[in-house]
Chain A
Amino acid sequence: MATFTSTADALGHFGAFGGRFVPETLIPALDELAEQYEAAKKDPAFQAEFESLLGEYVGRPTPLTFADKMTAELGGARIYLKREDLCHTGAHKINNTIGQILLARRMGKPRIIAETGAGQHGVATATVCAKFGFSCVVYMGAEDVKRQALNVFRMRLLGAEVRAVESGTRTLKDATNEALRDWVTNVRDTHYIIGSVVGPHPFPTLVRDFQSVIGREAREQILAKEGKLPDAVLACVGGGSNAMGIFYPFGQDESVRLIGIEAAGEGVTTGRHAATLTAGRPGVLHGSQTYLLQDEHGQIAEAHSVSAGLDYPGVGPEHAYFKDRGRAEYVSVTDAEALDAFGWVARTEGIIPALETAHAFAYVRKLAPTLGKDKVLVVNLSGRGDKDVDAVSKRLAMLDAAEG
């Protein structure tokens, strides 16, 4: 069997996916970014600074924690947690923003913009802007501003301007539209720090590279602890940066199943979900060709998820490629299953996961008991859930009231 490889061509195509579908105005900026990124990759000084910041500022390497209680309760595979929740700012997002702020400085662009859904990427961007002295504007759907109030406050505290986006569905998709409009307007002095493995080339590649530190560490750590590769690696998928970050370094280990967990919202058959790879079809949005939720005329459909970070009708093009090549499996869990897993992880392991991450655990609960005790799972614990506590408590109170 030929070894699986995934490398974008010069124009950013992963097979039939990816590419660059943006207004002409942005092309020179994307060319410059691609060039500077290629140069930075080969520049030992850039790499050394990136790694030093990951160590001294982000707190890497993050631990790979054996989840003994979870393993015992489920009675099957041994479960390990890759602790991205312990990164500075509380999620994996900062691995990417550190890399991109160094690129922005290299390009001499003093102004940063970003989109955010749950606010984790917004916080990670505001953080590096504070640290490196850049001005920062974060676009966030008005709906998400409401459900992620804590992160909005954190961004403002860090000196960022948060702009609530009132257009469209008022969620991550619309925040991304607005960030792209800002970038088209201010491209000469502005770098757009995209928060996931989405967007026009070279973003999917460079975000994946900055995030793949997760998988490189996890691979070494599991080999040290178990003396073998895991049987499966699991991660939640919205745009897909935490998943691609942990999947990619295992890409050529063909014995390792890669399992992405999407948000099924109220159920994939209800039409109210965000399970793009499970139920979408190929199209073009936000600069790349990928799987999308859309109607028969190519209008983008509204995504639904209890988790703001997964509430997006597209997905990174490299995931689309992994799916079509059969290298990764993509499954989905509902809002109700994710909410239940949120509390379960907290009670079982003493870790409150992000609601996004809770989706991965909802599937671990189903999968682990079906596997033998000699099997090993690595779950990317992509972020911590403090930001979600308020929204979850309201939701649970609502459910209690409905039942009572």
Chain B
Amino acid sequence: MKRFDETFSALRAKNEKALVAFVTAGDPWPQRTHEIMAAVARGGADVIEVGIPFSDPLADGPTIQASSHRALEAGMTPPMVLDAVRKFRAGNDTTPVVLMGAWNPILQYGVQRFVRDAADAGVDGTIVTDLTPEEAGEWKRVCDAGGLATVFLLAPTSTVARMALVGKMASGFLYCVSRTGVTGAREEIPDDLPPLIDAIRQRAEGTPVCVGFGISRPEHVRAVAAFADGAVVGSALVDLLHRERDNPDLPDTAAQFIATLKAGTRA
């Protein structure tokens, strides 16, 4: 939690918004995910989401589905994901890291053991895409005790009552999905987003509200930064990392891409 608090207060002090960058652990380099994470941080990402690959990613569009599949084919496992975070932490003690994935791999790892090992590796929080507040009671208690933030999602379909419920449960930040649908790059940011974020913010109890799904270009980041606390870029980065997988300068290429997006978060 400490890294989240420090990151978001430093951003507020600079009048900047957060750029949150998503990478799938193990794609394209199973043994070198930490190098990609370091490059993304170097490029200016304020928070890094690391995807735990899952065989049946039903919240994901084609780009992240394919990425998850490649990572699993390459032999990526949850212990290897934690190992990547540990290696990243050896060179970076400030950028918050959030693990994002489906509930089943965590359940099979063992809830208590997962939280302990993740915190020990230097993870700051989790986003479990198919775990809504109703099913997350025990998870929330274990994460609170272990010092991990619990990021929850909200969507354009969320009622005011759900915003309040999620607002109470969420820590680190709140992840608002920009549209009904799965992850993946889109052309436009929906028009109805500002009032939605406003309604969520009123019930977020001070937790920053970031927006993801469909954000792939600097102008998208700029548009979202005008009304939210941060923008999440996923598929566009995953796609770049895949296209440039044979490029020996892949980390630098990724850092440059992140830098162009990060510019959009500065007022």
A and B associate: yes
> Given the complex, which residues of B lie within 8 Å of A184, measured CB to CB?
58-59, 180-182
Cα distance A299–B159 in the bound complex, in angstroms = 33
Residue B202 lies at the interface, judged by CB distance under 8 Å to chain A: no
Number of interchain pairs (Cβ within 8 Å): 111
Task: Tell me, in angstroms, the Cα distance from A27 to B131 when the chains sit together.
Answer: 11
Q: In the complex the two chains form, is A24's CB within 8 Å of B177's CB? A: yes
Complex interface: chain B residues within 8 A of A21 (CB): 103, 130-132, 135
Is the Cβ of B162 less than 8 Å from the Cβ of A298?
A: no
Question: Can you list, as one digit per residue, whether each of A282-320 has a CB less than 8 Å from chain B (1) or not (0)?
Answer: 011111000010101111100000000000000000000
Tell me if B162 and A23 are in contact (CB < 8 A).
no
How many B residues, CB 8 Å from partner?
Answer: 40
Query: Is A39 interfacial (CB 8 A cutoff)?
Result: no
CB-CB under 8 A from A285, the residues of chain B are 56, 104
Known: A181-B58, A299-B54. A283 touches B134 (CB 8 A): no
Residues of A within 8 A of B59 (CB): 23, 181, 184
Taking a contact as CB atoms closer than 8 A, the residue among A167, A168, A188, A298 that contacts B180 in the complex is: A188
Map CB proximity to B onto A145-179 as digits: 1 under 8 Å, 0 otherwise: 00000000000000000000001100001100100
Instruction: Give the nearest-CB partner of A167 in chain B.
Output: B65
Q: How far is the CB of A291 from chain B (nearest CB, A)?
A: 12
Query: Could you mark each residue 166-204 of chain A with 1 if its beta carbon is under 8 Å from any beta carbon of chain B, else 0?
Result: 011000011001001100111110000000000000000
B68 CB, nearest partner CB in chain A, Å: 10
- Determine, out of B92-100, B149-157, B218-226, B252-260, the stretch whose residues face the partner at the interface: B149-157
> From B77, which residue of chain A is reached at the shortest CB distance?
A297
Residues of A close to B182: CB separation below 8 A: 181, 184-185
Q: Are B155 and A24 in contact (CB under 8 A)?
A: yes
Residues of A within 8 A of B194 (CB): none
Contact with A along B35-47 (1 / 0, CB 8 A): 0000000000000
* Residue of B107, B180, B182 with most chain A CB atoms under a 10 A cut-off: B180
B130 and A284 contact, CB distance less than 8 A? yes
Answer whether A299 and B72 are a contact pair too, CB < 8 Å, given A27-B162, A187-B157, A188-B157: yes
Number of interface residues of A (CB under 8 A): 36
Chain A interface secondary structure, helix, strand, loop or mixed? mixed
A109 shortest CB reach to chain B, Å:
13
Q: In the complex the two chains form, is A283's CB within 8 Å of B107's CB?
A: yes
A28 close to B (CB within 8 Å): yes
B181 x A28 contact (CB < 8 A):
no
Residue of B nearest to A28 (CB): B157
Q: How far is the CB of A64 from chain B (nearest CB, A)?
A: 39
Q: Are B162 and A294 in contact (CB under 8 A)?
A: no
The answer to whether A28 and B131 have CB atoms under 8 Å apart is no
Q: Do A20 and B54 have beta carbons less than 8 Å apart?
A: no
Can you name 7 A-B residue pairings with CB atoms under 8 Å?
Answer: A21-B135, A22-B130, A23-B130, A26-B157, A292-B104, A294-B104, A298-B105
Q: A11-B135, A184-B180 provided; 10 other pairs, C-beta below 8 A?
A: A21-B135, A22-B130, A23-B177, A24-B152, A24-B153, A24-B158, A24-B166, A177-B56, A181-B61, A299-B55
Q: What residues make up the interface of A, taking CB atoms closer than 8 Å to B?
A: 11, 19-29, 167-168, 173-174, 177, 180-181, 184-188, 283-287, 292, 294, 296-300
